[in-house]
Amino acid sequence: MPASDSTAKREPVLSLRGISKNFGAVQALTDINLDVHAGEVVALVGDNGAGKSTLVKILSGVHPATSGAIRFLSQEVHLADPGAALSLGIATVFQDLALCENLDVVANIFLGRELSPLGLDEVTMEVRAWQLLNELSARIPSVREVVASLSGGQRQTVAIARSLLLEPKLILLDEPTAALGVAQTAEVLDLIERVRDRGLAVVMVSHNMEDVRAVADRIAVLRLGRNNGIFLPDASNAELVAAITGAENNAISRRAQRRAAEGQAPQ
C-alpha cells in the first residue's frame, strides 16, 4: 500500500483530539482521537452504543461536541450546524439517507443548494446531476422520477452523489450498506472506492466486517465511547471482534495494537 506511507507524513484532512459528548448523564463519547487523510477510507466500527453514529453526527454538525478540538484542513473549526459542516467541505450520507421521497432525484441532489433561487435553473441542475451520477457509474434510469420509486441501492447512490455536489474534502458514510442486498452492496463499495480515488477522505461507519475489510485502508474501533485501537484491513477477524467487544483476553488486544503499530511503518 504505497498510500499509507505518505499519509503518515502528510497533514491529515481531519484530526480529532479529545472529543467528548454528553447527553445528560450519559457520556456517549470520551476523549476520542482520530486522524483521516486524503485519499483514504477510514472505517469506524464498534458495537451498538459504541458512539459511532454520535461521532458522525458531531462531524456533520448535527450535535455539537461537549469538549475537544476538531482540526479540518489544518484549521481549528467549530461545527455548529449542518450548514457549517457542509460549507467547510464535510459532506455526510446519513444512515437514513435523509432524502425527500416526494421530490425527484435532481431536487434531492440540489436540496438547499439550488441554482438561481428566484427561477430555478432546472436544465443546468439536471445536467450536473447526470454528471455526478455518471462519474459514479450509477445506474439510475431517470433523474426526474421521485426518490420514492428508487431501490435502496439507487437511493444510496443519490445520497452519495448529493454529498459530492459541493466537492467536499471529507465524506462521512453512516452504515452505507446496512439496508442493501448483495449486488447493491458491491455497487456501493465500488462507489466508495471511486470516491476515494478522486482524492477524498472517507469515513465509513459499518457493522459489516466483510465490507469494512473490502474497502477500508484503516479501521478505527470504538468501544463504549472510547478509542479502542486502530487496525489495518489485514487484521484477523478475531482481533477486530476482540477490540469491538472488549474481550477478556487482554493479550489479544495488546497484540493487535502492536501489530497495527508495526504494520503501519514498513508497509
Partner 1 sequence: MSRPDDTATSAKLDRRDERLQSGDDIGGAIRNFIERVRAGDLGSLPVIVGLIVICSVFTAINPLFLSPANLVNLLFDCSTVGIISLGVVCMLLVGEIDLSVGSVSGLASAVLGVVWVNTGWPVPLAIIAAIGTGALIGLIYSELFNRFGMPSFVATLAGLLAVLGAQLYILGPTGSINLPYGSDLVNFGQLLVIPKPLGYALALIPGLVSFASRLRMAQRRRAANLSSASLAMIALRAGLLTIGLEIAVFVLNQARGVPWMFALFVLLVVVMHYALSRTKWGRSMRAVGGNREAARRAGIKVRAIYTSAFVLCGTFAAIGGVMAACRLASASQQAGTGDVNLNAIAAAVIGGTSLFGGRGSAYSALLGIIVIQSISSGLTLLDLSSSLRYMITGAVLAIAVVVDSLARRSRQSHGRA
* Residue 190 and residue 217 in contact, taking contact as beta carbons nearer than 8 Å: no
CB of 57 to partner 1, least distance (A): 10
C-alpha count within 13 angstroms, C-beta hemisphere, residue 226: 5
- 200, three cell numbers: 477524498
CB of 126 to partner 1, least distance (A): 6
Residue 84 three-state SS: helix
Name the residue among 71, 14, 2, 40 with its Cα closest to residue 202: 40
Name the residue among 43, 80, 15, 9 with its Cα closest to residue 215: 43
Q: How far is 14 from 37, CA to CA, in rounded Å?
A: 7
Give bridge partners of residue 203 from the DSSP assignment: 42, 172
Q: How far is 154 from 123, CA to CA, in rounded Å?
A: 22
CB of 64 to partner 1, least distance (A): 15
* Choice between 103 and 224, CB closer to partner 1: 103
Which residue shows C-alpha cell 456517549? 28
CB of 240 to partner 1, least distance (A): 30
CA 239, 243, 248, 252: dihedral to nearest 10 degrees? 40
* Choice between 173 and 212, CB closer to partner 1: 173
CB of 32 to partner 1, least distance (A): 22
* Choice between 3 and 111, CB closer to partner 1: 111
* Choice between 166 and 252, CB closer to partner 1: 166
Alpha helices in the chain (DSSP H): 2-9, 52-59, 82-88, 105-109, 122-135, 152-164, 182-197, 209-215, 237-245, 250-264
CB of 153 to partner 1, least distance (A): 14
* Residue 14 and residue 201 in contact, taking contact as beta carbons nearer than 8 Å: yes
CB of 65 to partner 1, least distance (A): 18
* Residue 161 and residue 132 in contact, taking contact as beta carbons nearer than 8 Å: yes
* Choice between 18 and 83, CB closer to partner 1: 83
Per CB under 8 A, residues contacting partner 1 are 60, 62, 82-83, 86, 92, 94, 96-103, 107, 111-114, 117-120, 122-124, 126-127, 130, 139-144, 146, 148-150
* Choice between 142 and 250, CB closer to partner 1: 142
* Choice between 109 and 232, CB closer to partner 1: 109
